């Protein structure tokens, strides 16, 4: 079930990003790089939140 949810969210977000890149002005390469960096920052912040929550429980 987790696999299906992950694949579903991945497909949904890739579709949304494709539409965003289509609509945004300018070169889509730089928008793609910017979105990639934003995603990495979000994942890093999220990882810290999860480790803090696990540390609080234990």
> CA-to-CA distance for 35 and 51, rounded, in angstroms?
24
Q: What is the pTM of this model?
A: 0.49
Q: What is the pLDDT of residue 5?
A: 75
**With bands split at pLDDT 50, 70 and 90, how would you rate the model's confidence at 36?**
confident
- Is residue 46 within 8 A of residue 57, CB to CB? The reply is no
- Is residue 36 within 8 A of residue 21, CB to CB? The reply is no
> CA-to-CA distance for 40 and 50, rounded, in angstroms?
15
Q: Check pLDDT > 70 for residue 57.
A: no
Nearest CA among 57, 13, 6 for reference residue 35: 13
């Amino acid at each position: 079930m987790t696999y299906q949810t992950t694949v579903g969210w991945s497909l949904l977000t890739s579709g949304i990003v494709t539409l965003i890149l289509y609509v945004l002005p300018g070169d889509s390469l730089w928008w793609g790089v910017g979105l990639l960096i934003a995603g990495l920052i979000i994942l890093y912040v999220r990882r810290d939140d999860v480790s803090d929550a696990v540390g609080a429980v234990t």
